[in-house]
Amino acid sequence: MWRAEAVPEPAIESTRPFPALGATAVAFPHSAPRPAIVSRTQWRADETRRDPHAHYAEGVAAVFIHHTDTPNDYACADVPRTLRNLYTGQTRDQQWGDLGYNFLVDKCGTIYEGRAGGADRPVIGSHTIGFNQGTAGIAAIGTFGRGTPVPAAMEHAIAALAAWKLSLRGIDPTSKVRLTSTNDKSRYTKGTSAAFDAISGHRDGYATDCPGEALFARLPAIRAMAAGLQGRSPRASSGAELPTALQSLHRGSQ
């Protein structure tokens, strides 16, 4: 829920070279295809409103799921206008440098690029206080309190997006990863290491109801779906830890 996140995170300068686990790209065995993503240009983001410098981590070790806490009775054709309103709220009213979320997904299953910097790169967002670095924030457009149906198309799009982003570093969507808090305002004091699901809810890292009871209850199914999209068996991979090589990668992004 974007209104709850008012504390900026330490930024990593965009002048740092984008790391690729060594000099050459690494192909992981469980890859997932990149889903279609509507660019900022396509939803007509006003690029003069944002900080011109994107900031990067060294990889995405986990994904946090949010909801935008906006009405559910929208027409999908009107979503670009909703995004522009959110963008204005977060840059002008909240005085953030850009949209907090890395991606947003509507009820029709359309995925939108949120924060600028490159959808395929580990852009540091402003979505989960204490755990913005080395993670990606995906926001479901709408409000998903108890009893609210979560559209199947939205669930599938979230799973497809998470499967792709996590597969860029070989991470199993049903695994556990360790993240280190960078902010005392999170659920964990700064410097504390905690275990998270590779696909977690905003509330797992910050004291909030986000992403709503209904969407939070669907996260196990979304994890299993994402694992399937990576060609994994959810039963065999459930509870697996982040591979040692990737643990060192994530520590470098904190």
Whole-angstrom Cα distance, residue 74 to residue 72?
A: 6
Whole-angstrom Cα distance, residue 34 to residue 231?
A: 14
Listing from the earlier edge strand, what are the strands of the sheet with 135-140? 111-113, 103-105, 135-140, 62-67, 199-201
The answer to the question of residue 117 being in a domain is: yes
The answer to the question of residue 9 being in a domain is: no
- What is the model's pLDDT at position 242? 38
The answer to the question of residue 8 being in a domain is: no
The answer to the question of residue 181 being in a domain is: yes
- What is the model's pLDDT at position 26? 62
Q: Are 78 and 111 in contact (CB under 8 A)?
A: no
Say which CATH number the domain at 126 has. Answer: 3.40.80.10
The answer to the question of residue 41 being in a domain is: yes
Q: With left for phi above 0 and alpha for psi between -120 and 50, is residue 158 left, alpha or beta?
A: alpha
Segments of the chain with pLDDT less than 70: 1-27, 234-254
The answer to the question of residue 115 being in a domain is: yes
- What is the model's pLDDT at position 13? 31
- What is the model's pLDDT at position 234? 55
- What is the model's pLDDT at position 141? 98
The answer to the question of residue 159 being in a domain is: yes
Residue ranges making up the domain that contains 128: 28-251
Q: Which residues contact 95 (CB under 8 A, 6 or more apart)?
A: none
The answer to the question of residue 5 being in a domain is: no
Whole-angstrom Cα distance, residue 33 to residue 157?
A: 12
Look at the chain and report how many structural domains it folds into: 1
- What is the model's pLDDT at position 250? 37
Q: Are 144 and 208 in contact (CB under 8 A)?
A: no
- What is the model's pLDDT at position 179? 97
